[in-house]
Structure formats: C-alpha cells, structure tokens
Amino acid sequence: MHIGAAKQSYAADEAIFTTNTQKTWLVALAAALATLPLFAGDYWLLIACLVAINVISAAGLMVLTGYTGQVSLGHAAFMGVGAYAAAWLAAKGAPFWLAIPFAGFVAAAVGAVFGVPSLRVKGLYLALTTIAASFILHFIFFNWASVTGGALGLNVEPASIFGVKLISNSHLYWLAMPLAWASVWCATNLFRTRVGRAFIAIRDRDISAEVLGIELFRYKLISFALASFYAGVAGAVWVYLFRVVTPESFRLIDSIFFVAAIIVGGLGSVRGAIFGAVFMTLVPELLKLGVAMLEPYYPGVVQLLSPVRIIVFGGLIVGFLIFEPLGLNETWRRVRHRFALWPFRT
C-alpha cells in the first residue's frame, strides 16, 4: 500500500513506476549498474554479462509461459538458433548491430513454426512438442554442417564498433546490460496494452478470450515469435561473449534452466523473470565459491561440484514449487508489505 500516492490522472495511474520512492530506487539501481565496471573484477563482469543475457531470455520466456500460459521447454534451442544466425551473419562480415537483430528475427520465425502445435494441443502436450522441437533443432545444429559447422560449431570474430574490438567483459557488459534494460522495458510495456491483455486472457480462459474477439492462434503464434525473438537476441549476445557456438551450447537442460528461472522468479510478472534469472545465474557461482572454500578442509570435494550443482538445481525447482509456488516475486511482495508501514504494525 502506498501512502500519499493518490493519482491525479489516468496516465499517472498507468505508469510503470508510480511513486517517487520507486523512481528513486530505479535511479539508484541504474547508477549502480552503470558504475559496476569501474570496481568489479573481470570474473564478476562475466557473471554480470551472463545475468543480463539470462534476463533477456527469461523475459521472453515469461511472456510466453508466464503470461500466455504456453509451456515451452525449447527456449534454449531458440537461443541456439539466434546464436547460430548471428555467428553465420557475422562470418559474412556483418557488424554486430545487424547480426543481433537478424538473430532475433530468424529465431522468431523458427519459434513461430514450432508454435504451430499450440493450435492443436495445450498444457503438458504442448510442453512435449517443445521438447521434441529442442531435439529436432539440436539434430539440425549437428547435421546441417554447411551452415552450422556441424559438431565443431561456428566461431565468431569479436564485435567491433568504429574499428574498436569489443573483447573484454566490460565491453560486452555495455552491450548486454542496456539490451537487458530495453528487453525488460518493452516486455513491461506489452502488458499495458491490449496485446498483453490478450496474452493473459489466453492463459486464464482461452474460450472466453475467443468470445471477446481474440483470435487464439494468431496471438499464440505472436507470443511464440516474440519470446523466440528475445531468445534469439540473448543467444546472439551470448555468442559475442563466448565467441563460439556448438550443438552442445544449448541443450534441453538449458531450456529447463530457463523454465526453472521463471518459476523460481514467479510466473506472471516481468519482475519475476529478473529475479529468477539473477537467482539462477548466481546460485551456481555461489556454490562454486562455497565448494572452493571447503576444499582445504575436504580435499577432492571440488569434484563433487558438478553433481552437487545438478542436485541443487533440481532441489530449487522442487523446493520452490512446494514451498513458494508463486516464486521470489511473492517473497518480495510479502517482505515489502511487511515493511510498508514500518515501524507501525499492520
């Protein structure tokens, strides 16, 4: 509950950030992110880039699964499509600011094609078609060697702007982070318009949505295409960061990662996508740190890092779905609500 925040115009009521407190925090966050490269080490900048990439991808998946209700376990495969598309175009000499949108559009087209089953099947059955899509795409990545380089994949020259090569992590940070902000902003805008409302209607009660004039198939395909566009862009930035893409870069387990991220973050809100992406990216890193700290006391424990990561990953999914099904977004809201009138009791 916001005190002293009565709105005086409809525009004010429908703004994304409605109170001065919110706007202040937003500016503070922007400032913190802008100055991060100044004091963060190279490793943490890499993590920051990964977070940004995952935020873009998770935001896209949130639109498709969280808001439109179409479960997709093929999201990472569409990132792969974007990565390959960007790498392919870059190899032809295109600059990154062409390759990245190109990757988005190619991924969107592929995503729309694999969204066609949503006309016929829903829910779990749709999820299974997306798993099949993931495998079919992996097969194509592996076997269409003339375009994708087969098992070896494709290498990418660093992005360059005005002749300056963007090699270091801080360079890529300035590519990834603004794109992440833009993605989040656009996704939020969507739900202030009729397009976003149509998506939610399809999720909640698609038959009623039809009566209201929403063409289900058209909007489901738009949702798939849009989510895949985001995935493609994320994949393209990814390939400029790591400079190589192979068929093993984007597997089913990575798609599961993103679904886990949006569940952990909280289905149905863009903020949830941010929380989920940040959390799921940082947890393995914290685990790595923790295990490294234990190494002097329990030598050889580092070998357990990989299986422990897998267990924690699965455990997070199971744990959140049992104990906090509405995700971190809900935890955030509860905490904020508790302190909304602090120090007064509610």
Binding site for other proteins (CB under 8 A): 10-11, 13-14, 71, 117, 120-121, 123-125, 127-129, 131-133, 135-136, 139, 186-187, 189-190, 192-198, 200-201, 203-205, 207-216, 222, 226, 256, 259-260, 263, 268, 304, 306-318, 321-322, 325
> What minimum distance in Å lies between the beta carbon of 322 and other proteins?
5
Least distance to other proteins from the beta carbon of 284, Å? 13
User: Between residues 165 and 218, which has the closer beta carbon with respect to other proteins?
Assistant: 218
Torsion of CA 151, 152, 153, 155, to 10 degrees: 180
Give 252-301 as a DSSP string: HHHHHHHHHHHHHH-TT-HHHHHHHHHHHHHHHHHHHHHHHHHTTTSTTG
- Compare residues 120 and 337 and give the one whose CB is closer to other proteins: 120
The CA-atom distances, in angstroms, between 87 and each of 16, 57, 73 are 36, 18, 24
Return the number of the residue (33 or 308) whose C-beta is nearest other proteins: 308
Smallest gap from residue 130 Cβ to other proteins (A) = 10
Rg of the chain taking only CA atoms, in angstroms: 21
Q: Rounded to the nearest whole angstrom, what is the least distance from the CB of residue 251 to other proteins in the complex?
A: 11
Q: How far is the CB of 90 from other proteins (least distance, A)?
A: 25
Residue 36 or 186: the one with the smaller Cβ distance to other proteins is 186
Closest approach of other proteins to the CB of residue 46, in Å: 25
We find the least distance from the C-beta atom of residue 136 to other proteins, in angstroms, to be 6
CB of 96 to other proteins, least distance (A): 21
Half-sphere exposure of 140 (CA within 13 A, CB side): 14
Count of CB atoms within 10 A of residue 117's CB? 19
The bridge status of strand 154-155 relative to strand 159-161 is unpaired
| Backbone φ and ψ of 161, nearest 5° | -130, 125
- The residues, any chain, with a CB within 8 Å of residue 329's CB and separated by 6 or more, are 265, 266, 269, 271, 272, 275
Place of tokens 């890529």: 172
The Cα 171–Cα 161 span in angstroms is 11
Give the closest residue to 272 by CA, choosing from 332, 319, 340. Answer: 332
Q: What is the DSSP letter of 117?
A: G
Taking the least distance from each CB to other proteins, the nearer of 286 and 311 is 311
